[in-house]
Amino acid sequence: MDRSAIFRKFVAFTTAVHQITNDMTKDVKSEAITTVQYKILEYIAVSQPCILSDISECMHMSMPNTSRELKKLTDKQLCEKIADTEDRRKQYIRLSAKGQTMMNEIFVQIEARFNERIQDFSEKELKEIEQALDVLQGKVFYT
């Protein structure tokens, strides 16, 4: 097995994922938030509750910049910090009810765009895609 060829396919795949993600999320966010803030909210939506360092690492942002953006999102009542019951110094971040509503509305739009892309696929093809995603999630994109 040519591992170098697999790696090149992986790089091409992840690049395509970023491009498609950009295309599918274009123009879906609220005008009240920046693109960076949207990406943070998207991460929180699928990873909540999470901690500041996780967001910072995933977004490739410094901790102070991430903290500043989270403060803005908290001020807009889109996310909230929850203190750990066992260690009060540790804070978890999750979407507020307003943030959850906003992200649900955005995900409905993205899902509609996704459904447009797969509308002509057969049940067999959809099953193959689902299985491929499960394999990638379990073997490559695990956390």
Query: Which structural domains are found in the chain, ordered by start?
Result: 23-104 (1.10.10.10)
Specify the pLDDT at position 33. Answer: 92
- CA atoms of 138 and 133, how far apart (whole Å): 8
Compute the Cα dihedral for 84, 90, 96, 101 and give only its sign. Answer: negative
Per-residue pLDDT of the chain (143 residues; tens, 9 = 90+): 899 999 999 999 999 999 998 888 888 878 889 999 999 999 999 999 999 999 999 999 999 999 999 999 999 999 999 988 888 788 999 999 999 999 999 999 999 999 999 999 999 999 999 999 999 999 998 86
Specify the pLDDT at position 31. Answer: 85
| Pick from 40, 73, 32: nearest CA to 59 | 40
Q: How is residue 83 annotated by DSSP? A: E
Specify the pLDDT at position 88. Answer: 77
Q: Identify whether the C-beta of residue 50 lies closer than 8 Å to the C-beta of residue 92.
A: yes
Peptide bond into 64 cis (omega under 30): no
- State the residue for tokens 């998207």: 42
The SS3 call for residue 62 is coil
Specify the pLDDT at position 64. Answer: 95
